[in-house]
Amino acid sequence: MTKVKIVYASMTGNDEDMADILSEDFENAGMQVEMSEISQTDVQDFQQADICIVVSYTYSDGLEGHIPDEGLDFYHDLLETNLTGKTFGVCGSGDTFYQDFALAVDNFEQAFQTTGATMGAPSVKVELAPDQEDIARLDQFAQTIINHFQKKD
């Protein structure tokens, strides 16, 4: 059975909601999903997965790469991990009030690129809480990753 690991960072619940939506999408495709909060997750957990997903909000309080504080250790470990052969995807919520809208999504995407994993779908950025249109984009994101993964085999 295909294994999906979804790691999320969420302060007020928007990214957790997005992770839940993706979780349901992958489960509906018959995949086995494990979801966990970023500060409670070891990057090595990705070694047991076929598809690796990060869902993160962006926080610009002087933090490196606008990565949430509780996700910095995970981010640094990701940069040093070999995930060759795996498929990855990144999405996250931000607020267009800020100049660097959802920058953590770009930074996690770049970190994944260094791991040797293959990007399964273009990253998705959501304005605050996911609305109906965003949910459709997240469903499409999951479907694109599923198609990409199935074509690989």
* Interacting residues with ligand FMN (CB under 6 A): 10-15, 57-61, 66, 93-95, 98, 100-103, 128
**Nearer Cβ to ligand FMN (94/120):** 94
CB of 30 to ligand FMN, least distance (A): 28
E strand or H helix at 6:
strand 3-9
**Nearer Cβ to ligand FMN (60/118):** 60
CB of 102 to ligand FMN, least distance (A): 5
CB of 72 to ligand FMN, least distance (A): 15
For ligand FMN, the nearest residue by Cβ is 94
Q: Are 120 and 149 in contact (CB under 8 A)?
A: yes
Single-letter amino acid code for the residue at 101: F
Please report how many Cα atoms fall inside a 13 Å half-sphere around the Cα of residue 83, on the Cβ side: 29
Taking each helix axis from N to C end, the angle separating 14-28 and 132-152, rounded to the nearest 10 degrees, works out to 50
